[in-house]
A and B are shown apart, each in its own frame.
Chain A
């Protein structure tokens, strides 16, 4: 579903992504883990066609970036740590607006369905600026799946949420994953990532250092695998 080869992204003299290779099968839920500044958000922004790579080949659902960006965007839903919603519009109006932008057919029924899925039907007429952070993030997921995309890109979706809001968000994410969508999620929260994802890739210094399926995790779990991967990289002094 997603194939990335030799991806390079520079900001001036600083190289953020170095010959990054990455592949995701259809229906997989991949957690992209890594320290601050590893390049996770930059990578996701490139996949979302919000940022242009300097070099490399990216194919999503059979379409190539950046030349077929509009076709790629049709297949993508994106959730970032910002909700990407208008504070002075209601939940229903926001979804109506984005539905028109995406050309969603039978829009009012779809809005009703999505609001039910994220548990916001009762608050559909309220302005977004009156929503809590957790509610905004749930609606952001609703916005991202409104056009029924094949791929979901989630950039730190738990940022700024309290425990209860995180649990509710995870429930929604599980429902979305069960519907067979391919999901790539960046996260700092290893325990939440471990609960949700089926594969874990460690990104540091602009490269994928290691990848492991949830079934192959060592006995003491993801945290040890994550630390060992980063320590090995630091000891060797280079990225292999």
Chain B
């Protein structure tokens, strides 16, 4: 077996550490899940939609829920690093600092997908709408990648500030508008069985966004975390 490079070794160590920590504390996932379920319930009772209208708003409700819950997860994920000065501990490691970023991003993506995997069946039951469509699951994956790629970068920036809980959504939501719009359009397309030709531009937009912001994060992360 080939030895792992320092980059991948550090990345996998951070992923392992975040999963092990969460398995013990269950603070991040439980917060995200409870919040998501409450949002779904509130929308369910507040909108009181008929079956046709429900199909139209499903994608919007789903992505609003994921976006807001994701913010809670991102804040918590970086707050853990701020406790006891752990972020400094990570930055002192003799590895490319982007390995730290990608490790945290992967962990955040895993948490986001776990939340999605739990709320989708619940949503399907509450709204009587089948969400188990392969295309829709692809949109959720691409949208989640875009969200955590930008979110982890901005959370690393916001964690340095005293007002980080407020700062993160203010920084994040304007930047993720393209992801949310494209994800809602593509998800809506799959739910309403629109031809693939009309959905594909939104999928392309999601893919391009993911690639661009992954590259941007790769270039700027070191400068963001250094004083």
Contacts and interface: CB of A to CB of B under 8 A. Distances in A.
A50 B86 contact: no
B25 interface: yes
B41 interface: no
Contacts of B14: 101
A34 interface: no
B184 to A, nearest CB: 36
Interface stretch (B90-98, B130-138, B210-218): B90-98
Contact of A76 (B17, B21, B92): B92
Nearest to B103: A101
B85 interface: yes
B226 interface: yes
A84 B88 contact: yes
A85 B84 CA distance: 6
Interface in A44-70: 45, 48-52, 70
A45 B21 contact: no
Given A100-B10, A136-B84, 4 more contacts: A52-B226, A86-B84, A88-B21, A103-B9
Interface in B63-119: 80, 83-86, 88-96
Interface residues of chain B: helix, strand, loop or mixed (majority)? helix
B21 A74 contact: no
B20 interface: yes
B161 interface: no
A48 B227 CA distance: 12
B86 A85 contact: yes
A225 interface: no
B13 interface: yes
Given A70-B95, A73-B93, A97-B13, A45 B86 contact: no
A52 B226 CA distance: 7
A89 to B, nearest CB: 6
A84 B17 CA distance: 14
B24 interface: yes
A100 B9 CA distance: 7
6 contacts: A49-B92, A52-B226, A82-B85, A101-B9, A101-B14, A128-B84
B15 to A, nearest CB: 11
Contacts of B85: 80, 82-84
Interface residues of B, number: 28
A98 interface: yes
B16 interface: yes
B96 to A, nearest CB: 7
Contact of B86 (A48, A52, A84): A84
B6 interface: yes
A86 B95 contact: no
Interface string B1-42: 000001001101110110011001100000000000000000
A73 B114 CA distance: 35
Interface in A78-102: 78, 80, 82-89, 93, 97-98, 100-102
A199 interface: no
A49 B90 CA distance: 12
B29 to A, nearest CB: 13
Given A82-B85, A84-B88, A51 B227 contact: yes
A235 to B, nearest CB: 34
B9 A87 contact: no
A143 interface: yes
B1 to A, nearest CB: 16
A166 interface: no
Contacts of A217: none
B95 A87 contact: no
A25 to B, nearest CB: 23
A73 B92 contact: yes
A50 B21 contact: no
Q: Which of B10, B89, B95, B96 has the most CB of A within 10 A?
A: B89
A71 interface: yes
